[in-house]
Amino acid sequence: MNKRIRELAEHAQIGLFEDKSFGWSVLAGTDQHLSVFAELIVLECADTCLRMQLGNQYTPEEMLFQTKYRNLIKKHFGVE
């Protein structure tokens, strides 16, 4: 299992376990914890768009597209 997914699960206070057949499964957590976990994953994906800008030389147009895609991802999943 991805280390970052484990960290996000711990932050959301849910327990995960690895299953060779399915990859990973939820061991323990309320609906609210699962909602937080999902939101954290969406934010992590959206923020990746912005992190791509750091240390790289992008044109202003490319930077606008990265910000636009970040916002589209968040809007699609209803995450603020």
Judge whether 36 and 46 are in contact, CB under 8 Å.
no
Cα distances (angstroms) measured from residue 74 to each of 21, 30, 33, 34 = 30, 23, 19, 17
pLDDT at position 28 is 65
Question: 27-75: per-residue pLDDT in tens?
Answer: 667 778 888 888 998 988 888 877 776 666 778 888 888 888 888 888 8
Q: Would you say the pTM of this structure is higher than 0.85?
A: no
Structural domain for 22, as ranges: 3-77
Arithmetic mean of pLDDT, 6-30: 73
- Per the structure, how many domains does the chain have? 1
